[in-house]
């Protein structure tokens, strides 16, 4: 909980989350629980002595790649459909408690397939978690298939072809709603998914991409050139003023994750995340949690951290919340409903303040 007088206002503010990896919601406690259930031997690294030692190690990530080694190890405990469903459901319960009304969530099928888990098992489990959140909380959800940059393009092509062959992106199946890319940024060719993104674009599939987190603005430019409609992170955009003007003109959304940026040493504090620069320049952005079980902060913690660093006004928060709704990959009827809820929430807050 933050010290801001706006804490309760921020808690109740209807939120959309656009950047959260379901595998990044695997808490140390759940890693140990599922490792035992599925008879998985965790690494001999002393960090894996207990959930407590693992949590302590998570507090000392040195870079994106240092984090990713723990992230990919953690997910090895997921085996059955019910494990994937439980993971998604665990996240949605927390998101609901934080005031999330709509969530667009990533998952990394290539990595699970590489260790022998069937694509169908992964998707069926995550879809079940999404459906439960829709049913029990009225929380709308969107699943985004994420390609990973540390594995060969061929492995991404295989899961993509499989998803296409089974019509998983078709509106009638209502299973997958977009494609993204993530994992290690600096190193692999910037445009490694050129052909796959071209195919996806032709098929009318929505595209996003992690870029400008550790990598310089040229990673963002390449992602946009390949057809990304959104940029995940994108904080290094401020280093290229011309590109920033283009992003403003084209109305591209950045899905910013302030606590993640601090934990992965992309910035030294939340105050260094260019929130004020983006607001002043008219860059659209939403505020998100990324891998909350690894970074020690869910979406509300991220809103609070931004408030403590920037002391935004109620009007600025209304603008951020409304932008998050307008840029969501959801139909107009749902957008109108969420915009009304934001309006109600802000009006109630102002009534109390003005009394
Ligand atoms: N960056 C890149 N890849 C990721 C991240 C991230 O923050 N989280 C999970 N995979
Ligand atoms: Zn991410």
Per-residue confidence (pLDDT) for residue 316, from 0 to 100: 98
Per-residue confidence (pLDDT) for residue 166, from 0 to 100: 86
Per-residue confidence (pLDDT) for residue 42, from 0 to 100: 97
Nearest residue by C-alpha to atom 3 in ligand 1: 183
Mean pLDDT by 10 residues, the chain (355 residues): 90 98 98 98 97 98 98 98 98 98 98 94 96 98 97 97 90 90 97 98 97 98 98 98 98 98 98 98 98 98 98 98 98 98 97 79
CB-ligand 1 contact for 183 (6 Å cutoff): yes
Backbone CA torsion sign across 130, 193, 295, 3: negative
Backbone CA torsion sign across 270, 274, 279, 283: negative
Residue 310 lies in a domain: yes
Backbone angle region of 265, left / alpha / beta, with phi > 0 → left and psi within -120 to 50 → alpha: left
Residue 2 lies in a domain: no
Specify the number of domains making up the chain.
1
The residue among 93, 91, 127, 109 whose CA lies nearest residue 293 is 91
| Residue list, CB under 5 A from ion ligand 2 | 290
Per-residue confidence (pLDDT) for residue 250, from 0 to 100: 98
Residue 195 lies in a domain: yes
Per-residue confidence (pLDDT) for residue 3, from 0 to 100: 86
Ligand at minimal distance from the CA of 67 is 1
Ligand at minimal distance from the CA of 105 is 2
> How many helices and strands (H and E) does the chain possess?
17, 8
- Catalytic annotation, pick one of 213, 214, 322, 327: 213
Cα(133) to centroid(ligand 1), Å? 24
The residue among 20, 73, 63 whose CA lies nearest residue 43 is 73
Exposure of 117 in the CB half-sphere (CA atoms within 13 A): 22
Closest atom of ligand 1 to CA, residue 257: 7
Per-residue confidence (pLDDT) for residue 9, from 0 to 100: 97
Per-residue confidence (pLDDT) for residue 263, from 0 to 100: 98
Per-residue confidence (pLDDT) for residue 134, from 0 to 100: 97
Contact assessment for residue 128 and residue 85, using Cβ atoms and an 8 Å cutoff: yes
d(CA 132, CA 141): 10
Cα(324) to centroid(ligand 2), Å? 17
- pTM for the whole thing? 0.97
Residue 110 lies in a domain: yes
Residue 1 lies in a domain: no
Q: How far is CA 7 from CA 2, 74, 289, 290, 303, in A?
A: 6, 32, 17, 21, 9
Per-residue confidence (pLDDT) for residue 151, from 0 to 100: 97
pLDDT in tens, 144-197: 999 999 999 999 999 999 999 888 898 888 889 999 999 999 999 999 999 999
Per-residue confidence (pLDDT) for residue 126, from 0 to 100: 97
Q: How far is CA 331 from CA 218, 287, 334, 341, 355, in A?
A: 32, 21, 6, 16, 37
CB-ligand 1 contact for 21 (6 Å cutoff): yes
290 labeled part of a ligand binding site: yes
Which residue range(s) make up the domain with 201? Answer: 7-354
Is 213 among the residues known to form the active site? yes
Per-residue confidence (pLDDT) for residue 286, from 0 to 100: 98
Return the CATH number at 67: 3.20.20.140
210 labeled part of a ligand binding site: yes
Nearest residue by C-alpha to atom 2 in ligand 1: 183
Nearest residue by C-alpha to atom 4 in ligand 1: 183
Nearest residue by C-alpha to atom 10 in ligand 1: 183
291 labeled part of a ligand binding site: yes
């Amino acid at each position: 909980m933050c010290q801001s007088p706006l804490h309760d206002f921020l808690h109740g503010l209807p939120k959309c989350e656009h950047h959260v990896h379901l595998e990044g919601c695997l808490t140390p406690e759940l890693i140990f629980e599922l490792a035992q259930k599925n008879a998985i031997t965790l690494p001999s690294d002393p960090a894996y002595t207990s959930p407590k030692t693992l949590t302590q190690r998570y507090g000392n990530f040195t870079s994106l790649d240092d984090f990713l080694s723990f992230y990919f190890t953690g997910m090895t405990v997921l085996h059955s459909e019910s494990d994937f469903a439980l993971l998604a459901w665990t996240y949605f319960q927390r998101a609901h408690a934080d005031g999330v009304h709509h969530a667009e969530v990533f998952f990394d099928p290539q990595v699970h397939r590489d260790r022998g888990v069937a694509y169908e098992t992964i998707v069926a489990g995550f879809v079940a978690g999404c459906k439960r959140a829709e049913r029990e909380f009225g929380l709308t959800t969107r699943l985004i298939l994420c390609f990973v940059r540390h594995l060969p393009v061929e492995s991404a092509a295989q899961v993509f072809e499989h998803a296409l062959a089974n019509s998983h992106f078709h509106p009638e199946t209502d299973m997958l709603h977009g494609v993204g890319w993530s994992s290690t940024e600096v190193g692999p060719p910037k445009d490694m998914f050129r052909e796959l993104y071209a195919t996806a674009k032709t098929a009318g599939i929505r595209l996003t991409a992690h870029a400008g987190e550790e990598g310089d603005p040229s990673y963002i430019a390449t992602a946009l050139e390949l057809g990304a409609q959104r940029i995940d992170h994108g904080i290094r955009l401020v280093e290229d003023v011309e590109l920033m003007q283009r992003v403003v003109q084209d109305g591209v959304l950045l899905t910013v994750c302030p606590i993640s940026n601090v934990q992965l040493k992309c910035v030294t504090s939340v105050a260094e995340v260019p929130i004020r620069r983006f607001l002043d320049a008219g860059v659209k952005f939403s505020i998100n949690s990324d891998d909350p079980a690894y970074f020690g902060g869910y979406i509300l913690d991220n809103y609070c951290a931004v408030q403590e660093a920037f002391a935004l006004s109620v009007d600025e928060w209304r603008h951020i919340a409304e932008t998050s709704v307008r840029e969501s990959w959801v139909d107009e009827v749902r957008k109108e409903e969420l915009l009304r809820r934001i309006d109600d929430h802000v009006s109630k807050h102002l009534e109390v303040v003005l009394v």
